[in-house]
Amino acid sequence: MGYIVAENVTKRYGDIHALKDVSFEIDEGEFVVILGQSGAGKSTLLRILNGLTTPTSGSVSIGGDTVSGRRNDVGMVFQQHYVIDQLSAYDNALTGALNRTSFLKSLFRMYDSADKREALRALETVGLLEEASQRVDHMSGGQQQRVGIARALVQKPQLLLADEPVASLDPGSAESVMGYIKTAAAERNLTTMASLHQVNLSRQFGERFLGMRDGELVFDGYIDDLTTDV
Ligand code: ADP
Ligand code: ADP
């Protein structure tokens, strides 16, 4: 059985049918690109996988468990990176350890030394070790997104979900950020699902592809099966 199993997942918002009967299985360690135009249902699918919303009908399991049971195993990268402007790259990365840190300790930034090492390791993975002490509001959009990825890695996820992680970046930065996601996933053997709307980037980085259109899964396959009409 797959690591992620989605069975007949349907999501309605009133009259809007955001997902229609979507089923797939993904194995541990796969790197999956969800390809589709705006409104296709990519965000809705990723939000269901990380428990931000629930399906109207159908079911999802992760590692044989429910989505809510696996919440700490799922790291999320968003289009808007939601880094904290006034903090350094390092302090932002450390916030990934919040779910293992008491509120009081986090207030005084008293993270465990293992978490501090994890934050440095994550910054190294995204090529920002030299910039660790820089405030993120002095960084480029691509660098800020890499800080967002580092934060997700510090959470020590098994599954990394990225919702249009490069949609607000210029093509060069987009390619670089996708490269760092790919490296991070390979280094840590993460199962990864990233949504993209650019076919070229998808071809460059994707291994397995889920193609979505109007809430339907219209393609599920590998690069050799990918035609230009997805
Ligand atoms: P994207 O197309 O980049 O995925 P959207 O602009 O469609 O993003 O959605 C941004 C946010 O607004 C999401 O949280 C989504 O759930 C919500 N949203 C999208 N469409 C609607 C809508 N018709 N009514 C209410 N909320 C919506
Ligand atoms: P994508 O990520 O591929 O752009 P979404 O999953 O954001 O697609 O949206 C799929 C459809 O569901 C769109 O028609 C969108 O407007 C609608 N939608 C998404 N979120 C909401 C929401 N919270 N309320 C109402 N409609 C929504």
Task: For 136-148, write each residue's pLDDT tens digit.
Answer: 999 999 999 999 9
Q: Is the CB of 39 under 6 A from ligand 2?
A: yes
What is the 214 CA–ligand 1 centroid distance (Å)? 14
Distance of CA 158 to the CA centre of its chain: 11
HEC string of the chain equals CCCEEEEEEEEEECCEEEEEEEEEEECCCCEEEEECCCCCCHHHHHHHHCCCCCCCEEEEEECCECCHHHHHHEEEECCCCCCCCCCEHHHHHHHHHHHHCCHHHHHCCCCCHHHHHHHHHHHHHCCCCCCCCCEHHHCCHHHHHHHHHHHHHHCCCCEEEEECCCCCCCHHHHHHHHHHHHHHHHHHCCEEEEEECCHHHHHHHCCEEEEEECCEEEEEEEHHHCCCCC
**Residue-level pLDDT at 227:** 65
Mean pLDDT along residues 195-201? 93
**Residue-level pLDDT at 62:** 98
pLDDT tens digit string along 68-97?
999 999 999 998 878 899 999 999 999 999
Mean pLDDT along residues 163-185? 96
Average pLDDT over all residues of the chain: 93
Q: Is the CB of 125 under 6 A from ligand 2?
A: no
Q: How confident is the model at residue 124 (pLDDT cuts 50, 70, 90)?
A: very high
Instruction: Please tell me which residue, 196 or 223, carries the higher pLDDT value.
Output: 196
Tokens for 129?
Answer: 């070790």
What is the 121 CA–ligand 1 centroid distance (Å)? 34
pLDDT tens digit string along 34-55?
999 999 999 999 999 999 999 9
HEC string of 180-195 equals HHHHHHHHHCCEEEEE
Q: Would the pLDDT of 229 be above 60?
A: no
Mean pLDDT along residues 8-14? 97
- CA-nearest residue, atom 24 of ligand 2: 13
Q: Would the pLDDT of 224 be above 80?
A: no
Q: Would the pLDDT of 211 be above 70?
A: yes
Q: How far apart are the first and last CA of the chain?
A: 27
Nearest ligand 2 atom to the CA of 47 is: 6
Q: Would the pLDDT of 135 be above 70?
A: yes
Around ligand 1, the residues with Cβ closer than 6 Å are 38, 43, 164
Go through 160-182 and write b for each residue having 16 or more CB atoms within 10 A of its CB, e for each that does not: bbbbbbbeebeeebbbbbbebbb
Q: Residue 196 and residue 42: Cα distance in Å, rounded?
A: 9
Q: Would the pLDDT of 207 be above 90?
A: yes
Nearest ligand 2 atom to the CA of 36 is: 3
Whole-model pTM: value is 0.89
User: Do the Cβ atoms of 45 and 221 come closer than 8 Å?
Assistant: no
